[in-house]
Amino acid sequence: MATADQGLAATVLETTRVRALASSPDVYELARTLPSRPEGGPGRPNQFPDFVWVLFAGMTGIFGSARKTAAAMTDPVYWHLIREGVARCLGPAEALALPPRGPSRNQWNYHSRRLHTQLPRMQETFRDLAAAQALAAGYAHDDGHHPIALPPRERFVVGDGTVVASPLRKTATRKAKKKRKAKTPDQPVRRRKSRRDPGAGWHYEGGEEEDGGHPVFGPKFVHLSVRGDRPLSRIILDMRYQPPGGGYGGEAAIAVTMTTDAVRRLPGLLGVCWDGALRGKHRDTLMKAGLQVVSPQHDGIQPRRLDPITTCPCSRQHDLWAQDGAVHEAEILDTGDLHRTRCPILRPERRGRTGRTRWYHLIRLSCGNAHRIRLDTTPDDTRREFNRAEHLRQHPPDTDGYIHCYRWRPDAESLNAQLDATLWNRRMIAYGAAQQTLIMLGFAIAQNALTRHLHQRATDHGSQAAA
């Protein structure tokens, strides 16, 4: 699906994308959250209404650079498409009040900076709008049921962290060159005024440093999205900047916040797919919030003995272990070796109300009797310092549930690829966390606008065909 999506995305014309963006009500809703500027106040006069800056940010998510966006904005064809969208969403008077051509790159550079202090509010509004769009598209439908074995895709979110290459090329090499230059005699060291990107930092991709991840330099963002099986049906629910350095919990902590925020808006969500960044404590928080968490089991986790069952009606004692995320039963072989066999899961169970959910597996023991075992961490576990959620999984890897859900995870990588393919030179096109966040927000707005537009078009065709 991911590749089909990318292939199809390449055939969507830029005019379609701009039309979709300009006729997205989200653009104007987001602009409404911005404080109005008093006439004759300080700063440059703004001949454009604020929604033009939201549109500009969105268009950088189509054209991949501010330069090309400004060129499109001053092009009569694109400007006409924009006016049509404005007329559709705000009425013909607003469209007529627009200047004859769009803003320049300089005007964008000046006015976009005004938006920096408004970013938290804009992001919060974006999350509300994206959740509303998801509901309207029929995703995260809350029917009161919580299917665990084979949940539907539209009720699962997928997320990932992505490091966008820094706009600065080869920082490390440049430093090395400088050093070499300094050694050349009789030549004064010329200090080139080099640009810094305060938004970029060293991050690890493909796992943390100790897991063999490789370092990448650039600004990092974490995103969360939901989709159906139709091509180009993805809705980005959240997009957040991750500061460099690990003191705040990193990608996994942001993932937990984003997912629990999404569930607050979309109580019909059932679960989340993520890569190995999520560990036991993160999964535990998400499980208690009522969610299924599908992510690979960490390599370095050794099998661990669980409390033995001494009360089985078969009157034998069962020696239980956690291994590869699943409950195993150990027996001593004739050779004296310990052999562990995975206990079949008869039924996964979700109990308690959302927010204080408890999770269990009903497993079959070697004697044939069933046994219920808790999967999320209990207060007693905490006292014993037993990280239960690290060792036991709702969907242990290689089970049907895991395979069913984890195949949706590559869609998060497909989003990363689409982002890279959009950005000019496959690099971040802005400096500093705030401006970069604005660009990423613009990308998300443009993506969701296209999804809405294509969905609308398909629905219209459908009803025409039916008529």
β-strand 220-226 against 156-163: which pairing, if any?
antiparallel
Whole-Å CA distances, 167 to 94, 116, 199, 202, 268: 36, 19, 10, 14, 39
Smallest distance, Å, CB 312 to Zn ion? Answer: 3
Least separation, in Å, of the C-beta of 362 and Zn ion?
A: 14
Output 364 or 427, the one with its CB closest to Zn ion.
Answer: 364
Count of chain residues binding Zn ion (CB under 5 A): 5
Alpha-carbon distance of 449 to 382, in angstroms, equals 45
What x/- string results for residues 23 through 62 when contact with Zn ion is judged by CB under 5 A? Answer: ----------------------------------------
Q: Which is nearer to Zn ion, 310 or 335 (CB)?
A: 310
Rule CB under 5 A: is residue 367 a binding residue for Zn ion?
A: yes
Element (H, E) at 294: strand 292-294
Q: Cα torsion for 421, 425, 431, 434, to the nearest 10°? A: -10
Beta bridge partners of 28: none
Type of residue numbered 114: R
Site residues (CB under 5 A) for Zn ion, limited to 391-420: none
Contact segment (CB under 5 A) with Zn ion among 173-181, 186-194, 304-312, 414-422 equals 304-312
Q: How far is the CB of 26 from Zn ion (least distance, A)?
A: 58
Please, which residue, 1 or 312, has the CB nearer to Zn ion? 312
Residue of 104, 109, 260, 369 interacting with Zn ion (CB under 5 A): 369
CB of 315 to Zn ion, least distance (A): 8
Q: How far is the CB of 394 from Zn ion (least distance, A)?
A: 24
- DSSP classification of residue 156: E
Tell me how far, at minimum, the Cβ of 329 lies from Zn ion, in Å.
9
The answer to whether the CB of 305 falls within 8 A of the CB of 320 is yes
**Least separation in angstroms between CB 361 and Zn ion:** 16
Contacting range for Zn ion; rule: CB under 5 A; set: 49-57, 184-192, 296-304, 307-315 = 307-315
- Residue nearer to Zn ion on the CB measure, 8 or 314: 314
Is residue 199 within 8 Å of 436, Cβ to Cβ?
Answer: yes
The two structure tokens encoding residue 356: 């204080």
Span from 91-99, 314-322, 389-397, 418-426 in contact with Zn ion (CB under 5 A):
314-322
In this complex, which beta carbon is closest to Zn ion, that of residue 291 or of residue 365? 365
Whole-number minimum distance, CB 368 to Zn ion, in Å?
Answer: 7
For the CA atoms of 412, 415, 421, 422, the dihedral, rounded to the nearest 10 degrees, stands at -150
φ and ψ at residue 327, rounded to 5 degrees: -75, 130
Q: Are 345 and 362 in contact (CB under 8 A)?
A: yes
Q: Which stretch binds Zn ion (CB under 5 A): 74-82, 188-196, 333-341, 367-375?
A: 367-375
Task: Rule CB under 5 A: choose which of 148, 312, 330, 362 binds Zn ion.
Answer: 312
Regarding 330 and contact with Zn ion (CB under 5 A), the answer is no
Between 81 and 363, CB nearer to Zn ion = 363
- Residue-wise burial string across 341-364, b where 16 or more C-beta atoms lie within 10 A, e elsewhere: ebbebeebebeeeeeebebbbebe
Closer CB to Zn ion, 136 or 370, in the complex: 370
Under the binding rule (CB under 5 A), the answer on residue 314 touching Zn ion is: yes
CB nearer to Zn ion: pick between 171 and 369:
369
CB-nearer residue toward Zn ion: 371 or 395: 371
User: At closest approach, how far in Å is the CB of 389 from Zn ion?
Assistant: 26
Supply the minimum distance, in Å, between the C-beta of residue 363 and Zn ion: 11
- CB nearer to Zn ion: give 27 or 309: 309
Of 146, 134, 120, which is closest to residue 351 (Cα–Cα)? 146
Select the span of 170-178, 239-247, 272-280, 310-318 touching Zn ion (CB under 5 A): 310-318
Q: What is the footprint of Zn ion within residues 74-113 (CB under 5 A)?
A: none
Say how far apart CA 261 and CA 123 lie, in whole Å. Answer: 12
Buried b (16+ CB within 10 A) or exposed e, 2-31: beebeeebeeeeeebbbbbbbbbbbbbbbb
Least separation in angstroms between residue 345's CB and Zn ion is 17
Q: Are 262 and 132 in contact (CB under 8 A)?
A: no
Instruction: Tell me if 201 sits within 8 A of 217, measured CB to CB.
Output: yes
What is the Cα–Cα distance from 321 to 331, expressed in whole angstroms? 11
CA angle 85–9–155, rounded 5-degree value: 90
Nearer to Zn ion, 235 or 365 (CB): 365
Q: Which residues bind Zn ion (CB under 5 A)?
A: 312, 314, 365, 367, 369
